[in-house]
Amino acid sequence: MYNKYIISIVKDLKKTLGQMTSLNIHETIVRNDQRPETHYNLSYSVKFKEKLKNINGTIYFNFSDLECANSVAMSIASKLGAIESLEYRDDYLCEFMNTAIGKALTQLEKSGFNASFETPQITKNCSQNMSTLGGESAVIVMALDISHLIFKIVFVDSLYEDLHGKKILVVDDSLMIRQLLEKKLTSVGFNVEKAFDGVDAIEKVKVFEPDLILMDQVMPKLYGLDAILEIQKFLPNVKFIMLSSISRQEELNKANEQHVLSYLLKPINYTVLLKAITEALLTNKCTSNVNDEVTLPKKDKKLPDKK
C-alpha cells in the first residue's frame, strides 16, 4: 500500500546524501521490517502527517555504531564547509534529516501526498519494535565503503491511534504466555493486565474493566468459556478473543453463542493476533479470524454497541 511512497522517499534520501556528503553508496536494499526488535545506539527521527489520507509516519536514521554517525556528520561538515567538530554532530545530522525529509515530502506532494513534518528528535540507546498497529514499516540499508547506513520508514493509518492505551486483559495459566503477550502488546501501545485462571480473571475484570480479553480455554478452577459467561453478567460489552490449544466443535459452538469475536490457535501467530485485536476494537462485527485453521460457525447476532 505504501510502497510507492517508500520508493520515492528512498530516492530523495540518496539524492540528499549525495548533495550533502562525499559518501560513496555502493548498494541500496529496501525490505520489509521482519525483526521483532532492534537496538540502536543513536537514532534521529522525523514524524510526518498527511491529514487527508489519514496517514501518520516516522522516518528514522539509525546507527548501531557511533563511529559511523561521527563519520557521516564530519562528511557533511567537510562537504558544506562547516566546522569539523564532533561537538556539532547532532546538529549536522538533524540538518541532514530536515533537508532530506523536506525534499522527499515536497516530491510526494506532486503525487497527492501533502504532508507536514516535525523537527528531528534524537534518541540514544533505543529499541525499535517492528509491530505497528494499522501500518507498515520498511528498512533501508545503504552500503558504504567500510560501513552501512540504516534508515527505517513507518507508515500508520491514523485511525489506529485510538487503539493506543486500550485495556487488554490476558488470561492464561501459563506464566510464559502471560509474559510474552504482555511484552508484545505493551510494546505497541496497549495497557495490559494479566490473570492466571478464570476465577482470577473475574476478579481482575471488576477492577481493570478491560476493553478486550484474551482468554485461554483449559485452565484450573474455571475454564475460559465458563469465565466468559460470568464476566458478561456484569460487563456485557467487553470483547473476547479466545487464544487456546484446543478447538473442538463443542468449544467453537459455545464461543460463537457467547459472541467471542475470534478463536485463535496456539502457538501464537502475533501477526494474526494483532490483526484480530485491531479488528475487534475498531468494529462491532463478529469475525471468523481463527488462525486459518478453525472457523467459528456463522451467526447473525452482533455484539451490542459499547456505550
For residues 68 and 121, membership in a common domain is answered with yes
Strands 37-50 and 121-129, bridge-based pairing: antiparallel
- In this prediction the pTM is 0.68
- Mean pLDDT (the chain) is 88
In a domain, 290, yes or no: no
Question: Do both 123 and 187 map to the same domain?
Answer: no
| Torsions phi, psi for 116 (to 5 deg) | -105, 155
Q: Where are the alpha helices (DSSP H) in the chain?
A: 3-20, 66-80, 89-109, 175-187, 198-208, 224-234, 249-257, 270-282
**Same-domain pairing of 137 and 226:** no
User: Residue 207 sits in which domain range?
Assistant: 164-282
For range 55-74, the mean pLDDT: 96
What amino acid occupies position 111? S
The predicted-structure confidence for 119-178, as pLDDT tens digits, reads as follows 999 999 988 765 566 678 899 999 998 899 999 999 988 777 778 889 999 999 999 999
The pLDDT of 236-251, averaged and rounded, is 87
Which residue among 160, 193, 214 closes a domain?
160
Q: Reply yes or no on whether the pLDDT at 303 is more than 60.
A: no
Is the same domain home to 126 and 250? Answer: no
Q: What is the pLDDT of residue 130?
A: 59
End-to-end CA distance of the chain: 34
Is residue 297 assigned to a domain?
Answer: no
pLDDT tier for residue 206 given thresholds of 50, 70 and 90:
very high
Q: Give the span between the Cα atoms of 139 and 150, in whole angstroms.
A: 7
pLDDT band of residue 292 (cuts 50, 70, 90) is very low
Structural domain count, the chain = 2
Peptide bond into 267 cis (omega under 30): yes
